[in-house]
């Protein structure tokens, strides 16, 4: 478990003070994939780097499994770092060394016997799917392959935490997908806690369990990925969510909703799972003798499950509509009236 | 020609000897200073502003004195170190004072070229400062270090030609005494030709070695 308690970071740049982090409180539970998203300069790198003390907090504490790491001696810090793997946006591999040597590096530093290194590196390269590239040099590999090497290297010391600093930001969408899948496998198979930072909401949607939104060195919103995606509170969060959810209503529909002389009620219905949406609509319609007019709908994938978003116009007796809404809420379905869909 | 082959060979040997020995000592000094210059920098492994400032000032002082003046200026020191201020051995002392700080700067430059991300990755995997220097920094910079040191050797060959001024001997001395002062153009041409070949050889060797160590 990683806990941030009132963490601040102030950089001195000439005479100017830059407040990169302004009191961060966050808890990353063991075994989860926690994502931190924010625009450039929000303080994401500063935040993730306080976990392995590449950056020392100016105030506040970072606790790893309850232990405040800033109180450790240099030697203890090095020991702790061996339990925290890290991968980087630009991979940071040694260009003068082979793939094998790069992955072996953490083991060499720990004075592991040669035959044991050989065995372990082979295993790691197998795991990331690059066992045939051991004798190559990093500049002979693609970006995705380099990141796999970075991942293999980070796993060499059997860490319990993996830090990912924009690990997929230098990769194309397809390669990003495959790296994210690999990260998920690491999380599931080895139960390694992953803290990742990114500016791409797609990454968060793809693999994170929880997300925190960082803005100007503050956490402005956090929660499970589902909650944050389906019900973003802050404007910045809404912008991020919209960047991948594509749930913006068409102009004509907005006009219709905002028309002051509109008589019928319009509701937004949010549901998860494929089997929920369509059958629900027809069942409700039949049961309460209502006219349901789906004005807009889309389905996106969220944490591996489909997530649907319908804008529906209800026509019928008010009493029946009320009953119908109560019925809908029975299931794991969220309904709210859309009075003024502000976008 | 006023000199025979034997004299030329001896001069060549003196040049090689002066350059070689001076290079070895300057390399040791330059390596230590260069490394210190890098790691004591702001934000680096062993950040230390006072040490960094003092080193920079000292190195800049030595770097700003022309070799011919340096040679004369440190004569008392030379006498303490080698017992005499004249001869080939005596010429090595100022050469080291000249090339040491120069090599320090060259090494500093090469090490600074190494991607900061690599150092960061090293720190993140729990490497000690010693391990970072010898397992990451130097291997990554090695190819560039070899080229830099090649430049230093060429510089030393050039500087050693002035060692004649304090009786150091060598090809430069030969060229000045016979070629210039006694107008023996042939001696001049021969010594210059040997120096040219020498420098070419060193440079090609350096280039080759640099390519070899780029990947290991
Ligand atoms: N070493 C430093 N010295 C001075 N200022 C710094 C330093 N590192 C970061 N900053 C500043 O702190 C702020 C936060 O930087 P940080 O790198 O944490 O942001 P980020 O969210 O990772 O941004 P990006 O997405 O661009 O990487 C920025 O204003 C940045 O300029
Ligand atoms: Mg960053």
pLDDT score at A246? 67
Residues of chain A with pLDDT > 70: what percent? 96
CA–centroid distance, B120 to ligand 2, in Å, is 14
Residue A264 pLDDT exceeds 90: no
Buried b (16+ CB within 10 A) or exposed e, A260-292: eeeeebbbbbbbbeeebbeebbeebbeebebeb
Q: What is the pLDDT of residues A13-46, one digit of tens each?
A: 889 999 999 999 999 999 999 999 999 999 999 9
Partner residue opposite A92 with nearest CB, options B115, B127, B135: B115
Residue A256 pLDDT exceeds 70: yes
Residue A341 pLDDT exceeds 60: no
Query: Predicted ipTM?
Result: 0.88
Q: Do A92 and B143 touch (CB under 8 A)?
A: no
Higher-pLDDT residue of A314, A279: A314
Residue A343 pLDDT exceeds 50: no
CA–centroid distance, A50 to ligand 2, in Å, is 13
pLDDT score at A294? 86
Two tokens, residue B114: 């190494």
Q: Do B120 and A54 touch (CB under 8 A)?
A: yes
pLDDT score at A128? 96
CA–centroid distance, A204 to ligand 1, in Å, is 21
pLDDT score at A143? 96
pLDDT score at A31? 96
pLDDT score at A178? 95
Two tokens, residue B126: 């729990």
Residue A106 pLDDT exceeds 90: yes
In chain B, which residues have pLDDT < 70?
none
Residue A342 banded pLDDT, cuts 50, 70, 90? very low
Two tokens, residue B42: 């702001």
Residue A277 pLDDT exceeds 80: no
Ligand closest to the CA atom of residue A37: 1
Q: What is the pLDDT of residues B25-72, one digit of tens each?
A: 999 999 999 999 999 999 899 999 999 999 999 999 999 999 989 988
A66 Rama class: left (phi>0) / alpha (psi -120 to 50) / beta: left
Residue A274 banded pLDDT, cuts 50, 70, 90? low
Q: Do B142 and A96 touch (CB under 8 A)?
A: yes
Q: What is the pLDDT of residues A181-228, one digit of tens each?
A: 999 999 999 999 999 999 999 999 999 999 999 999 999 999 999 889
Phi, psi of B176 (to 5 degrees): -70, -50
How far apart are the CA of B126 and the nearest CA of chain A, in angstroms? 4
Q: Looking at B46-184, list the stretches that DSSP marks H as alpha helix, in order from N- to C-terminal side.
A: 49-64, 67-73, 75-82, 88-112, 116-124, 129-131, 138-160, 171-174
Q: Do B215 and A78 touch (CB under 8 A)?
A: no
List residues of B whose CB lies inside 8 A of any A CB. 115, 117-118, 120-121, 123-128, 131, 135-136, 139-140, 142-143, 213-216
> For A45-58, what is the mean pLDDT?
96
Give Cα separations from B77 to B41, B70, B82, B97, B102 (angstroms). Answer: 31, 11, 9, 11, 20
pLDDT score at B173? 87
Q: pTM for the complete prediction?
A: 0.87
CA–CA separation, A211 and A32 (whole Å): 11
CA–CA separation, A294 and A285 (whole Å): 12
Pick from A143, A185, A193: nearest CA to A168? A143
Residues of chain A with pLDDT > 90: what percent? 66
Closest ligand 1 atom to residue A89 Cα is 27
Q: What is the pLDDT of residues A167-189, one digit of tens each?
A: 999 999 999 999 999 999 999 99
Q: What is the pLDDT of residues A152-170, one digit of tens each?
A: 999 999 999 999 999 999 9
Ligand closest to the CA atom of residue A41: 1
Q: Of A29-33, A129-133, A257-261, which range is least confident?
A: A257-261
């Amino acid at each position: 478990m990683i806990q941030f308690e009132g963490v601040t970071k102030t950089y001195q740049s000439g005479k100017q003070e830059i407040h990169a982090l302004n009191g961060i409180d966050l808890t990353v539970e063991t075994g989860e994939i926690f994502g931190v998203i924010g625009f450039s300069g929000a303080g994401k790198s500063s935040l993730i780097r306080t976990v392995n003390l590449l950056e020392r907090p100016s105030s506040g504490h970072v606790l790893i499994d309850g232990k405040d790491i800033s109180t450790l001696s240099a030697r203890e810090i090095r020991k702790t770092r061996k339990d925290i793997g890290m991968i980087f946006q630009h991979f940071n591999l040694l260009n003068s060394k082979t793939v094998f040597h790069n992955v072996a590096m953490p083991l060499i530093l720990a004075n592991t016997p040669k035959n044991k290194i050989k065995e372990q590196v082979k295993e790691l390269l197998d795991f990331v799917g690059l066992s045939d590239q051991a004798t190559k040099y990093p500049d002979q590999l693609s970006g995705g392959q380099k990141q796999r090497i970075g991942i293999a290297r980070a796993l060499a010391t059997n860490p319990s935490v993996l830090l990912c600093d924009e690990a997929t930001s230098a990769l194309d969408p397809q390669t990003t997908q495959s790296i994210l899948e690999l990260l998920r496998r690491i999380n599931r198979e080895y139960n390694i806690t992953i803290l990742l930072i990114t500016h791409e909401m797609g990454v968060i949607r793809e693999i994170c369990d929880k997300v925190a939104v960082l803005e100007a060195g503050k956490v402005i919103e956090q929660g499970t990925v589902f909650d944050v995606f389906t019900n973003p509170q802050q404007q910045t969060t809404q912008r991020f969510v919209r960047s991948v959810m594509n749930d913006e209503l068409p102009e004509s529909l907005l006009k219709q909703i905002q028309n002051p002389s509109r008589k019928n009620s319009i509701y937004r219905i949010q549901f998860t799972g494929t089997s929920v949406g369509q059958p629900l609509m027809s069942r409700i319609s039949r049961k309460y003798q209502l006219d349901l007019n789906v004005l807009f709908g889309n389905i996106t994938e969220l944490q591996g499950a489909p997530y649907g978003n319908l804008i529906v116009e209800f026509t019928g007796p008010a009493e029946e509509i009320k009953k119908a809404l109560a019925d809908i809420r029975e299931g794991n379905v969220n309904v709210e009236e859309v009075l003024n869909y502000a976008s | 020609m006023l000199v025979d082959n034997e004299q030329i060979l001896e001069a060549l040997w003196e040049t090689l000897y002066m350059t070689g020995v001076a290079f070895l000592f300057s390399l040791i000094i330059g390596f230590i200073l260069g490394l210190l210059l890098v790691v004591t920098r702001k934000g680096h492994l062993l950040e230390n502003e006072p040490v960094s400032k003092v080193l920079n000032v000292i190195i800049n002082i030595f770097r700003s004195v022309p070799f011919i003046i340096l040679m004369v200026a440190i004569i008392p020191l030379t006498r303490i170190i080698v017992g005499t201020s004249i001869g080939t051995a005596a010429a090595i002392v100022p050469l080291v004072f000249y090339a040491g700080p120069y090599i320090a700067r060259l090494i500093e430059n090469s090490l600074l070229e190494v991607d900061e991300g690599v150092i960061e990755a090293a720190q993140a995997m729990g490497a000690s400062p010693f391990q970072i220097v010898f397992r990451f920094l130097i291997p990554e910079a090695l190819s560039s270090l070899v080229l830099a040191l090649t430049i230093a050797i060429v510089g030393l060959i050039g500087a050693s030609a002035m060692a004649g001024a304090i009786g150091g001997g060598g090809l430069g001395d030969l060229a000045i005494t016979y070629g210039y002062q006694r107008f023996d153009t042939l001696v001049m041409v021969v010594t210059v030709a040997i120096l040219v070949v020498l420098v070419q050889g060193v440079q090609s060797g350096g280039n080759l070695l640099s390519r070899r160590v780029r990947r290991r």
